[in-house]
Amino acid sequence: MSQASSRSGSSSQGRGGGIGGGYEGQGSPVPYRVGPLAYEPAVLCRCNGKACRWISWSNAQPGRRYYRCKKSRTGIDCGFFLWADEECSKWFKELLIDLRDAVWELSKKDGELDAKDMVLEAKEMEVEVKKNEVEDMVMELNAKQQEVQAKEQVVALLEARLKNKNKCIDMLAVLCMFLLLTMVVILCNGNKA
Ligand SMILES: [Zn+2]
């Protein structure tokens, strides 16, 4: 296919065909060597502006560069399309497709690993939160234990005071008995006299 082939000439290939944007939504497997407008000499589109140069990664045209209107994917797209490179051989296409798929597979695995990393990080944070909760609970428990110990000391003190009071009451009872006996003796003696 010559460089003069136009968009209308390749439109029969449809989605996933010759036009680079048509493959299944995955990014370019290799970074662009230059930006879409950083090439020379300039190719002008029908709007008279410099056309963007992209690389197709479709199954039909892997690795083939093409020019496209800068305003493509907007309402004022002039529809300009032009291949920059000759179509490569079937063998080369198969090799490029295999390499493209290998890179896509690797990036998919990379993405999966990233997702697993994020899950792991979230779990680690969860564990940290639980650890803090347990630490708080242990501190609360220690405080309660100290409170109980203080209360036990108060109880022991009160018990000791109660014992002292009981001793006083016992002594008072003995004294009363003694007084009563003395009075009885005095009364008996008075009666005899
Ligand atoms: Zn244009």
pLDDT of residue 25: 59
Phi-psi group of 63: left, alpha or beta (phi > 0 → left; psi -120 to 50 → alpha; rest → beta): left
From the number of C-beta atoms within 10 Å of its C-beta (0-12, 13-18, 19+), residue 53 rates as buried
Residues with CB under 5 A from ligand 1 (ion): 45, 47, 69, 78, 80
C-alpha span between 164 and 158 (Å, rounded): 10
CA of 81 to the centre of ligand 1 (A): 9
- Half-sphere exposure of residue 14: CA atoms within 13 angstroms, side-chain side: 0
CA of 53 to the centre of ligand 1 (A): 12
Indicate the range of 10-14, 81-85, 93-97, 151-155 predicted with least confidence: 10-14
Higher pLDDT, residue 38 or 26: 38
pLDDT of residue 24: 55
Average pLDDT over residues 64-91: 94
End-to-end CA gap in the chain: 160
Tokens of 155: 């109880």
CA of 132 to the centre of ligand 1 (A): 62
Average pLDDT over residues 36-58: 94
Neighbours of 135 (CB within 10 A): 10
- Is 1's pLDDT higher than 80? no
- Model confidence band, residue 13 (pLDDT cutoffs 50, 70, 90): very low
- Note the pLDDT tens digit of each residue in 90-137: 999 999 999 999 999 999 999 999 999 999 999 999 999 999 999 999
CA of 38 to the centre of ligand 1 (A): 17
pLDDT of residue 28: 86
pLDDT of residue 55: 94
DSSP strand pairing (64-68 vs 81-83): antiparallel
pTM of the predicted structure, to 2 decimals: 0.55
Tokens 């493959």 belong to which residue? Answer: 23
CA of 71 to the centre of ligand 1 (A): 6
- Model confidence band, residue 31 (pLDDT cutoffs 50, 70, 90): confident
Indicate the range of 14-28, 55-69, 173-187 predicted with least confidence: 14-28
Tokens 């690795």 belong to which residue? Answer: 63
CA of 44 to the centre of ligand 1 (A): 8
User: In sequence order, what are the residues at sequence separation of 6 or more whose Cβ sits closer than 8 angstroms to the Cβ of residue 97?
Assistant: 59, 62
- Model confidence band, residue 162 (pLDDT cutoffs 50, 70, 90): very high
